[in-house]
Structure 1
Amino acid sequence: MARRYGYMDWMRVVAIITVVGVHVVSKIINSTTTADWEWHYANAIDSALRWCVPIFFMLSGALLLTRDSNERIGEFLRKRLGKVLLPLLFWSAVYLTYNIYQLGEEYTIGQMAGLFLSDGIYYHLWFLYVITGLYLMAPFLRLLVKHMDKTMFHYFFAFWFLFSAAAPIFTRATGYEFAFAGQMFAPYIGYFLLGAYLVMFPLPKRWLPTLGILAAIGYAVTLWGTVIANTGREAGDFDAFYYEHYYPHAIFISLFVFVAFQQLGTKLKSTPLVTRISTATFGIYIIHPLIQTYLNRLFDFNETTINVWIGVPLSWIVIFILSYAVIRVMQKTPFVRRLVP
């Protein structure tokens, strides 16, 4: 699987654009309440975009776990971890510096180390911790994938769905903690393997209507579940339960998006621009919150500029374009390019 898949480049590009959109509308959701129409506008958009992060895990699994390679474990880990650990260290330092000099936070050396080890520095850096864990597991998961047939995959997905996706819904509904911990089938490993499965055993086109219906139901559950969960809450006291990436409604939407792109595979050819944006997604993900913050701080430019109908799409586009431009410059700069691989 050494060749490029055009539909995967397109999927990655659309997913990173979607991530930026999520972080634009989340500002509205966290600063208003269900009594405000702006909250419902933002929730309607956000609920439709929650598939973006699972898609990245699925793409990583599709590319890493199905590749026929004779790499030794040490070589594999050196290549993959080298692309994430240095950026994690550097950007953690950047966001710590922001917290100190812009937000007025004060830390001891021990507290800074604790924040780094516990993923407490900045809200979006959690993704780098999860992908690091998946890279550590990838050599072993690759062996499993190599020897698993469709039936074995189906059993795995059934257990993953039950313990990692359905069990939290049971706990939410009843108040009883499910005895079989979801960590038995860590939620993002499920997406990692699902990506590999869909490349090895593509779903036929006739499944798309059914998956589309399930995705529509998933969107409705996300949308109305979030409304119900947050009715009566104050601004800033947001219940994000239905926004989680690994509950059933999110799985259905993510599965539909991946399969839809896959079915369009022959029509989605990579262009030079799409390939460049695709290779910049990691950097765009890391840097766009800073771009978003300083556009607001320096120019009072944000999701409410003029009004939310204009401010949301306008800031969404500007943040993405500026983030991409900065990352392209960094990728062309010696040594610095290692910080945004």
Structure 2
Amino acid sequence: MQKTKYFMYLNAIISSFAVVVAHTITNPVQLGVSTTKISFYLLLCIVLGIIFSYGVPLFFMQSGANVLNYRDRYTTHVFFKKRIHKVIIPFILWSILGFFFIYGKEGFPLTIKNFCVAFLTGNIVGPYWFFYNIIGFYICVPFISLIIKYGSTNIIKYTIFILIIVNTGIPVINILFNTQSSFGTSVPFIGPYAQYFIAGWYLNNVNIAKKNRLRIYSLAIVMLLFEIVATIYFSFFVKHIPMLNYPDGIVKTFYDIAMFPSFCVMCALFLFLKQLEPKLSSEVMRKNLKKVAGLTFGIYLIHPFIIVWLLNPFNQIFLQLPLIVKMLIDPLFVYCLSSLIAMIVRKIGLLHWIVP
């Protein structure tokens, strides 16, 4: 039986909140902030976008930590049955809802063909892009779990190293030098984020010596500063990187979660949360963490609908308030309302397929 680690609940809570922040107040265009010249709010959007980019990577790392040793608990058949129930069915159901209430709101024709095309290309609900990556990871789990179960620690570290080189190193080189590397990305894992899943398992299950933890934290601080400085520098002073711009000329390249600097920061944050485990000793705290963490997947599913349908009407109430106040209350509004809806839906027995 796998021992419960309560820092994973804390991980889930802060990752879901980070996703909400990223989708509400980090896009300057969405906030009406000009991107043609440097301003306080533009820089704030960039910094918040970098700091709160940890949401999905932490979710990936937690998923890897939870499922890569599934063979110690149940069969591969049971593993896929659980993933279908907990992830794939809710994803499909909410995508159908998104087709009518988000995709349709943009004025696109609601036809079966359009649904199939939009679903396969991930264009129905933008934030649902992570489902395609995590489902690809689940497909690979049966053979990755064999590396975890039977491979040595060095083999696992080598696997992570290869994934870092292929997924985070080579793409940066290609962007900086405008080249197409002859080294293919044919490592047998689906998607550009496989390193997060395996690193999550490794950091969760292997004790990292204190001196190595300090090295990881120090590297993460350097990488975080690099992300901020490089993003600002290449966005406003040296505009010659054409790839991964978002939005309107802001260069996202150096803090994209697929890149090496972000990977370093995410690993340090995951490790830091793991070190908090002994401090989560209060029974009341553990009970509350578990209860709130149970809502996080529902928050991932529901919050895009709140943003599209309710965020603007909500903001009409606060038109006279400074933008900085809006940036404080918008994520809280979306997060709390999404949590409330998820909690209500989960209490309705027949709807457990929608928010597991």
Secondary structure (helix, strand or coil) at the match of 1:335 reads helix
Specify the alignment match of 1:14 in structure 2.
14
When normalised by structure 1's length, the TM-score is 0.92
2:110, 2:255 → 1: CA distance? 31
Alignment partner for residue 55 of structure 1, among 55, 58, 73? 58
CA RMSD of aligned residues (A): 2.3
Distance 1:67 1:178, change over 3 A: same
Specify the alignment match of 1:187 in structure 2.
192
Distance 1:143 1:301, change over 3 A: farther
Residues 43-84 of structure 1 deviation map (CA, whole Å, 9 limit, x = unaligned): 111111222211111111111112453633222211112211
**Match of 1:261, as an amino acid?**
L
Secondary structure (helix, strand or coil) at the match of 2:3 reads coil
Alignment partner for residue 265 of structure 1, among 269, 277, 284? 277
Residues 77-101 of structure 1 deviation map (CA, whole Å, 9 limit, x = unaligned): 1111221121111111111112354
**Match of 2:264, as an amino acid?**
F
**Match of 1:227, as an amino acid?**
I
Unaligned runs of 5+ in 1: none
Specify the alignment match of 1:150 in structure 2.
153
Unaligned runs of 5+ in 2: 240-244
The answer (yes or no) to whether the contact 1:7–1:268 under 8 Å persists in 2 is yes
Specify the alignment match of 1:198 in structure 2.
203
Specify the alignment match of 1:310 in structure 2.
325
Aligned-pair CA distance for 1:199: 2.4
Residues 102-138 of structure 1 deviation map (CA, whole Å, 9 limit, x = unaligned): 3222243212111112212121011112111212221
**Match of 2:300, as an amino acid?**
Y
Specify the alignment match of 1:287 in structure 2.
302
Distance 1:241 1:305, change over 3 A: farther
Higher RCO (C-alpha under 8 Å, 6+ residues apart): 1
The number of equivalent residue pairs is 341
Does residue 1:124 correspond to 2:127, yes or no? yes
2:345, 2:303 → 1: CA distance? 14
- Correspondence list, 1:72-91, <5 A: 72-91=75-94
Secondary structure (helix, strand or coil) at the match of 2:280 reads coil
Specify the alignment match of 1:320 in structure 2.
335
Secondary structure (helix, strand or coil) at the match of 1:84 reads helix
Does residue 1:336 correspond to 2:351, yes or no? yes
Specify the alignment match of 2:242 in structure 1.
none
The answer (yes or no) to whether the contact 2:63–2:197 under 8 Å persists in 1 is yes
2:80, 2:246 → 1: CA distance? 45
Specify the alignment match of 1:220 in structure 2.
225
Alignment partner for residue 46 of structure 2, among 43, 56, 59? 43
The answer (yes or no) to whether the contact 1:24–1:316 under 8 Å persists in 2 is yes
Segment drifting more, 96-105 vs 276-285: 96-105
The answer (yes or no) to whether the contact 1:205–1:263 under 8 Å persists in 2 is no
Alignment partner for residue 254 of structure 2, among 216, 237, 242? 242
Distance 1:282 1:6, change over 3 A: same
1:141, 1:305 → 2: CA distance? 54
Identity among equivalent positions (%) equals 22
When normalised by structure 2's length, the TM-score is 0.88
Segment drifting more, 275-284 vs 228-237: 228-237
